[in-house]
Amino acid sequence: MVEEILKKLQRERLTLASINRRAIAFFLDELIVSILFYIIYADSFAKAGSLETVIALTNMLFFQVVLLKIIYHTFFVWMYGATVGKILLKIKVISIDEFDNPNLMSAFIRAVVRIISEFLFYLGFLWAFFDKARQAWHDKAAKTVVINV
Share of residues in the chain with pLDDT > 70 (%): 100
- At 133 the three-state DSSP class reads coil
Per-residue model confidence (pLDDT) at position 49: 85
Q: Provide the 8-state DSSP code for 81.
A: S
CB burial class (10 A; 0-12, 13-18, 19+) of residue 6?
A: middle
Mean pLDDT value across residues 57-69: 95
The answer to whether the beta carbons of residues 147 and 15 sit under 8 Å apart is: yes
pTM of the model: 0.94
- What's the distance, CA 119 to chain centroid? 14
pLDDT band at 125 (very low <50, low <70, confident <90, very high): very high
The pLDDT of residue 81 is above 90: yes
Q: What is the mean pLDDT of residues 14-38?
A: 97
- Please tell me the distance from the alpha carbon of residue 29 to that of residue 23, in angstroms, as a whole number: 10
Please give the radius of gyration of the chain, using alpha carbons only, rounded to the nearest integer: 17
Query: Taking residues 111-122, what's their average pLDDT?
Result: 97
Bridge partners (DSSP) listed for residue 144: 95
Give the least confident one: 7-21, 37-51, 79-93, 125-139: 37-51
DSSP states along 60-80: HTHHHHHHHHHHHHHHHHHHH
**Amino acid 1: pLDDT:** 84
